[in-house]
A and B are shown apart, each in its own frame.
Chain A
Amino acid sequence: MRERWEKLGAACLASIFLAVVLTGCGGGDSKPATNPGELKKVKIGYSGGTCEAPVFTALEKGFLKEEGLDAELVKGDFDNNKNSLATGKLDAVNGLVMSWIKPLEQGLDAKFTTGIHTGCNYVLVPANSTIKTAQDFKGKRVGVDAMGGSPMMVLARELVNNGVDYKNDVQWRVFPKTELEAAYDKGEIDAIAVGEPFGTMWRKKTDKFTVLIDTAKTPPYKDEYCCLLLVSGKLIKQDEPTAAAITRAVMKGALYVKDHPQEIGQLLVEKKYVGGTAELNGEILSQFNYVPSVDGGEKAVQSTAVEARKVQFLDPATDPDVLAKQIFVRLKGVQ
């Protein structure tokens, strides 16, 4: 009888051990050494937004290959990309500086390397509404797709800079991006703060919406870089030249998008990188300033850090200037 229990116990331990070994060994992530002349494998994350056009362009037009990189594009949502970048499963991601400033402050292991383009956030109000200035937002309900995300920060900045307490005077309601319009129709929210492509899609409904803030056109946001390239801290530490190569390739991609927005809009839809029509995407791309700039990126990080501290998104203990220096890096060989 005792023998039976011992055998059972041993069998259980053996199966647990086997499970651990199988899961542990399956995840081996060592990059094999590349021979000279071979392309270096890198993984770039994307979420399927039009903004990320420079990344797709860099792949499709061969800029990444020129820099000696064999890039694989991996799709994931913002949360997945955040964690993958932090653990080195992704090497680079295109990201909105206002969405990433808080995770980076919390210690996420990634850094900004360059600014890619301006504006892709909108604040929309009803077409004939009384909401015209920041003060009019008092007591209103604003729909966003994430608490503390980039569109919410834009409106929070606008409110705080005009003396409105965005925490207590305004109600924020979170809906999935695709349901924001439905919520608006039901009268559950009085205004919407959102990014692309919904911003461009909804602004066309001029009998329904008016654009109050368009970060590509409204000062002071219009000169601020909104999307920057992020590279994983692991890659920067272990292989800075590759990090620089990815950055250069994406910057080339951005310049190409600037000069050929319609062509790239077509390409995005054809290759099924993003949804929508070729015309819509081409239109979105031509609105933003796609001149990549390392200086612009650095400045955007600095001003975002200061503003994020002002709207109390950042911890009280964080010094915004110190943070800005920590999370932006000028890689060698990137201008």
Chain B
Amino acid sequence: MALSQPAPTGISEVQKKPFPIKNIVTSLLPLLLLALFWAEHTLLPDGQMFTKRRYLAESFPFLMGLYLVTFGASFYRKDFHEKLTYQAPLIAGVIGFLMLWDVVTLKLGLLPLPQFPSPGAVIAALIADAEVLFVSIYHSLGLLFGGYLLGLLFGIPTGILMGWFSSVNYWLSPILRFIGPIPATAWIPIAMVVFPSSFQASIFLVALAAWFPITIMTWSGISNVSNSYYEVARTLGASTRYLILKVALPASLPSVFVGTFMGLGSSFATLVVAELLGVKAGMGWYVSWAQGWAEYAKVWAALFVMAIIFSGTTSLLFKVRDRVLVWQKGLVKW
């Protein structure tokens, strides 16, 4: 399935060789599996209760048409065709998994409701609650970015101070060790008392979750900077400020970025807890509501959306990292 076409080397050179059959078959795998899925979904009898609109069944012709069009269009652009051929088995795998999921829940009823809804139920939940989900995404992103940026703003300076000044380290390190294991839920009563509004309390919870790993990794990065860098800079007449900002910080950036990734993950995980405090909408708020009502199709739909957002923000962070650490590109894979 690997790409085996050499890229065209000149403007006038056009690939004259015919496309290998193997690539074409691979690219058509998703189509085959879509057809199988369509057959399974419409021909087999239902074994599980299903009262929603059958969006999945209705979408098959559209999906197959879409893939055919994409496949046809790919013949006009070499690199796109290669990418499609490369991704085709994965796409086919996903479709196969959805089909298996459908068989085990909707058709055979092997896994019981309400804990195991079929893919059609999750899609129906996504479409039915699209408006609520959009509003919730908007609110959650606001909370997430607000808290995360605050965590960054406090975390990086704290880490630098801890890594550089041993007196700061002396006082802050035990505090860090103590705060670390305290779960976000335990902070709720304190946050509600200290902060004038529950929104601020929510931001505090997310910021705290991000602050902890960011501080630790920044501290670690700064304190691990090789002494030889400082010696060289000092012989050239560098002041302390220069040493911190132009030597220590850039050298510790790889470690700092590890901290930012961990902080992002922690912020996400704390989102559900933070949204217990009087939010108007939010992904965590939505998941709690759906869980209380045992509407697990909605829970899965929301988790799917959250996974996309998490994946997207992490990719964004990686892009930032790649620009800043251009000399280290390719070292860590996402």
Contact = CB atoms under 8 A, between A and B. Distances in A.
A binds B: yes
Contacts of A43: none
B148 to A, nearest CB: 23
Contact of B114 (A108, A146, A188, A317): A108
A1 B273 CA distance: 50
Contacts of B193: 182
Contacts of A182: 192-193
Interface string B77-111: 00000000000000000000000000000000000
Contacts of B278: 143, 173-175, 183, 188-189
A103 B289 CA distance: 11
B118 to A, nearest CB: 12
A183 B293 contact: no
Q: Which one of A79, A103, A143 has the highest number of Cβ atoms from chain B below 10 Å of its Cβ?
A: A103
Nearest to A233: B112
Contacts of A147: 285, 288-289, 292
A103 B294 contact: yes
A103 B276 contact: no
Interface in A99-133: 99, 102-103, 106-109
A47 B196 CA distance: 31
A273 interface: no
A106 B50 CA distance: 10
Contacts, number: 83
A120 B114 CA distance: 28
A178 interface: yes
B224 interface: no
A103 B285 contact: no
Given A106-B113, A147-B285, A183-B278, A82 B294 contact: yes
Contact of B51 (A83, A86, A178, A315): A315
Nearest to A147: B289
Given A107-B49, A107-B112, A317-B51, A179 B189 contact: yes
A78 interface: yes
A143 B279 CA distance: 11
A45 interface: no
B115 interface: yes
Interface in B250-303: 276-280, 285, 288-289, 291-296
Interface residues of A, number: 33
B198 interface: yes
B197 interface: yes
A54 interface: no
Contact of B189 (A108, A146, A178): A178
A66 to B, nearest CB: 34
Given A173-B279, A179-B188, A179-B277, A106 B114 contact: yes
Contacts of B285: 147, 174
Contacts of B276: 174-176
B198 A107 contact: no
A109 B115 CA distance: 10
Given A79-B291, A146-B288, A186-B197, A174 B51 contact: no
Contacts of A173: 198, 278-280
A286 interface: no
Contact of B279 (A79, A83, A174, A179): A174
Q: Which one of A147, A149, A171 has the highest number of Cβ atoms from chain B below 10 Å of its Cβ?
A: A147
A62 interface: no
Nearest to B114: A106
13 contacts: A78-B292, A102-B293, A106-B293, A107-B113, A107-B114, A107-B294, A108-B294, A109-B112, A173-B280, A174-B276, A174-B285, A179-B188, A189-B278
Given A103-B293, A186-B196, 4 more contacts: A86-B114, A107-B113, A147-B289, A176-B188
Interface of A: 78-79, 82-83, 86, 99, 102-103, 106-109, 143, 146-149, 171, 173-176, 178-179, 182-183, 186, 188-189, 313, 315, 317-318
Interface of B: 49, 51-52, 112-115, 188-189, 192-193, 196-198, 276-280, 285, 288-289, 291-296
Closest 8 CB pairs of A and B: A103-B294, A107-B113, A147-B289, A106-B114, A317-B51, A173-B278, A102-B293, A107-B114
